[in-house]
Each structure stands twice: as C-alpha cells, then as structure tokens.
Amino acid sequence: MKQDDVMVGVDIVCVNERDSAHTTIDMEGFDGWVDIYDSVFSEEERWSMKYDVDRVTLLDGSQLKAADLGRHDRCITRHKDISLTTPAGQDLTFSSELLIDAKLRRFYTYFCYKEAYIKLAGEALLAPWLRQLEFSNVRSPRPGTQARCSTHGTWGEEVDDVEVRLHGRPVDDVRMKIQAFEENFMLSTAIQGAVEGLKIPAFQKLDLEADVMAFAGDHLSTSSVPTIKEPPGPVRNDSMMNMHGMPEVNQCPEALLSPWESRYF
C-alpha cells in the first residue's frame, strides 16, 4: 500500500478527564449529561450511551455482563445501591457509581471514534454532518493495567468491529480500531482509502532518545537544511507604506478544500 492511498485520523481520550462530569450527573442524571452532546451524537447513539452497558467491574475485580444486570441497566443515577441475583444464582449488592463509570467509559468510546473520524476528514466538531455520522456495534475495550513504581502500564483490548454509517449508508472505505491503554486511556484510529483486507496494525512504543532523536541525528545535518528566503516586506517611502513589494496572494478556492471535501465534493 502506498502512503498516498490512505488518510489517517487518530484520537486519544481519558475516561475520567472531566472532573465536572460527576457533578453534572449528580444534578441532572447520566441522561442529562449525555444530552449535553446532542449536537455531536445522534438520538440513537445517545440512547445506547444512556442505557446499554458492556460490563460492570466490581470492587473485587469480578465483572458483571450486561445480561447479569437485567433492567438495572436503566439506572442513570449515582449513590444508589443496586441489589440483584445473577442468572447463575449469585446475590450481589453494589453501588450504582460502578455502573455509571462503565457507562462513562462507553460514552468516551463513542467520543474517541467520532474524534478520530473527523480528524481523518479534516473537519472539526462543528461539521454539519456530525450527527449523521453514526457508530453501531460499539463496545468499550477492556482496560490494561496501570503503571506502578516498578512496572510500565500495559495495553488493553483491541476492538475493530465497529460499524460506521454516514447519512444512513454504510461507510465501506473506512476501517476503525480502538484500543485501551492502562486503566483510563483509549486510542482510536481511522483509516480511509484502499482499505480492503486491511488490518490496522497495533500501536508501537517509541523511545524518544533511541528511536526519534537518534534517527534525526543520523539523517539530518545543518548543511542539509534548506535556507528559506523571506519575501520582501513593505518599504517606507515618505511616511507612506509602499505595498508594491508585498508578495501576491493567489486566492484559489481549490486550495482551501480539506482532504475530505476534495475526495467527495
């Protein structure tokens, strides 16, 4: 595959990056917090964020599947005791904060997907088609492990089976993947172009000194750096500005097109 055959967008999120989230959820419920982003996500996406759950991790490290929760998946408030009996017959009581944290992780999975896609498109969160860009079959990747005093943080699960639709139609020329890093981070990649049969490779760890600085030192030298000649600036002439020396600017509309627009419009 040639470099020019694809465009790439990448995003990283932290699932507990907004300290104000819990304050808003306590005041307005998790559904109220999700609806703050009604200009970014479609109604179907927001419904799934509010009421669907991938898994809930309990304080002892054990996990409950969505099927174990029953209709408790409709809970949208914190500081509430949830008592249930699992299909296996186990009686459990746990705080709804754990359920809301699981839903927050799922919300940020959606957010990471959408950010990676719009970066690929060269757009921003004000793109007019943002709510028509919809993701389904979304599940949050299982976290890795946190860095400790003697160990590095580890990568978590990779998920690459998300489905993408734009204006209700499947987007077939884009591949997406999301992967967890440590306990709180997730990274998403979107690749568009000649992607048939493509599997997005895993992230690789780079050492700044050994991999980046050493390569730069071996392949760059001051003699090989081109000298940039500055265009002539305005010249004073009897207290007036002589603008004839200013470089001409070519206002070509095609030059202002983003990669996304030039590809589709």
Question: Over its length of 265 residues, how does the chain's per-residue pLDDT go in tens digits?
Answer: 455 678 899 999 999 877 778 999 999 999 999 999 999 999 999 999 999 999 999 999 999 999 999 999 999 999 999 999 999 899 999 999 999 999 999 999 999 999 999 998 888 778 889 999 999 999 999 999 887 776 778 899 999 999 999 999 999 889 999 999 999 999 999 998 877 777 888 887 788 888 888 888 888 765 555 556 666 655 545 444 444 444 443 444 444 444 444 444 4
pLDDT computed for residue 122 by the predictor? 83
Alpha-carbon distance of 242 to 236, in angstroms, equals 6
Residue 85 phi/psi, 5° resolution?
A: -120, 120
- Give the contacts of 135 (CB within 8 A, at least 6 positions apart): 45, 110, 113, 114, 162, 163, 164, 165
Entry field: residues in the chain: 265
pLDDT computed for residue 247 by the predictor? 43
**What distance, in Å, lies between the first and last C-alpha atoms of the chain?**
24
pLDDT computed for residue 127 by the predictor? 84
With beta carbons less than 8 A apart as the criterion, state whether 218 and 195 touch. Answer: no
Q: Which two tokens stand for residue 19?
A: 């300290």
pLDDT computed for residue 222 by the predictor? 53
Residue 166, by phi and psi: left (phi above 0), alpha (psi -120 to 50) or beta? beta
Name the residue ranges covered by the structural domains of the chain.
7-198
24 Cα distance to chain centroid = 22
pLDDT computed for residue 259 by the predictor? 42
- Is 7-198 assigned to CATH 3.90.470.20? yes
Q: Which two tokens stand for residue 196?
A: 């048939």
Alpha-carbon distance of 160 to 42, in angstroms, equals 21
Look at residues 28, 33, 29 and name the one whose alpha carbon lies nearest to residue 18: 33
